[in-house]
Structure 1
Amino acid sequence: MSHSELFRNVVETVFSTWTALRLAVEHGMGGQQGKEIASQFVNQVTDLFCKNDIGAEEVADFLAEFMDKEFQTVCEDDSPDEVATVLWQFYQHCKAGRHDLVTLELSKFPKCEMWLCKPVHPIRSDEEAMDTVDTITHERSSDTAAEEHDPEWTEVRSRRRKERALM
Structure 2
Amino acid sequence: MEHTKSFFLSVTQRIFSNWTALKLAVEHGMGSVERAIEFCPYITEVLYMNEGLTSDQIAAEIEDYMDEQLNTILEDNSTVQVAEELLRFYRFCIEGNESTAKVELEKLPPLQSWFTCERPTRATRSLPVKQDSSSDEDMDVDKSEQEADGWTVVTNKRNR
Q: Which residue matches 1:47?
A: 45
Q: Which residue matches 2:17?
A: 16
Specify whether residues 37 and 82 from structure 1 end up closer, same or farther in structure 2 by C-alpha distance, changes over 3 A only.
Answer: same
* TM-score normalised by L of structure 1: 0.65
Which stretches of structure 1, 4 residues or longer, exceed 2 Å deviation after superposition?
none
Percent identity of paired positions between Structure 1 and Structure 2: 34
Q: How many Å separate the matches in 1 of 2:117 and 2:37?
A: 11
Q: How many Å separate the matches in 1 of 2:111 and 2:44?
A: 21
Specify whether residues 114 and 90 from structure 1 end up closer, same or farther in structure 2 by C-alpha distance, changes over 3 A only.
Answer: farther
Specify whether residues 112 and 118 from structure 1 end up closer, same or farther in structure 2 by C-alpha distance, changes over 3 A only.
Answer: closer
Count of aligned pairs = 116
Q: Secondary structure at the match of 1:75?
A: coil
Structure 1 position 116, deviation (Å): 2.1
**Structure 2 letter corresponding to 1:50:** Y
Specify whether residues 21 and 89 from structure 1 end up closer, same or farther in structure 2 by C-alpha distance, changes over 3 A only.
Answer: same
**Structure 1 letter corresponding to 2:112:** E
Q: Is the 8 A contact 1:29 1:71 kept in 2?
A: yes
Q: Secondary structure at the match of 2:73?
A: strand
Specify whether residues 40 and 52 from structure 1 end up closer, same or farther in structure 2 by C-alpha distance, changes over 3 A only.
Answer: same
Q: Which residue matches 1:60?
A: 59
**Structure 2 letter corresponding to 1:35:** V
Q: Which runs of 5+ in 1 are unaligned?
A: 120-167
Q: How many Å separate the matches in 2 of 1:48 and 1:95?
A: 14
Choose 1 or 2 for highest CA Rg. 2
Q: Is the 8 A contact 2:13 2:111 kept in 1?
A: no
Cα distance per residue 1:72-119 (max 9 Å; x no partner): 211111100110011001100011111221111111113452432179
More helix by proportion, 1 or 2? 1
Specify whether residues 93 and 115 from structure 1 end up closer, same or farther in structure 2 by C-alpha distance, changes over 3 A only.
Answer: same
Is 2:76 the counterpart of 1:95?
Answer: no
Q: Which has the higher contact order (CA 8 A, sep 6+)?
A: 1
Q: Is the 8 A contact 1:15 1:42 kept in 2?
A: yes
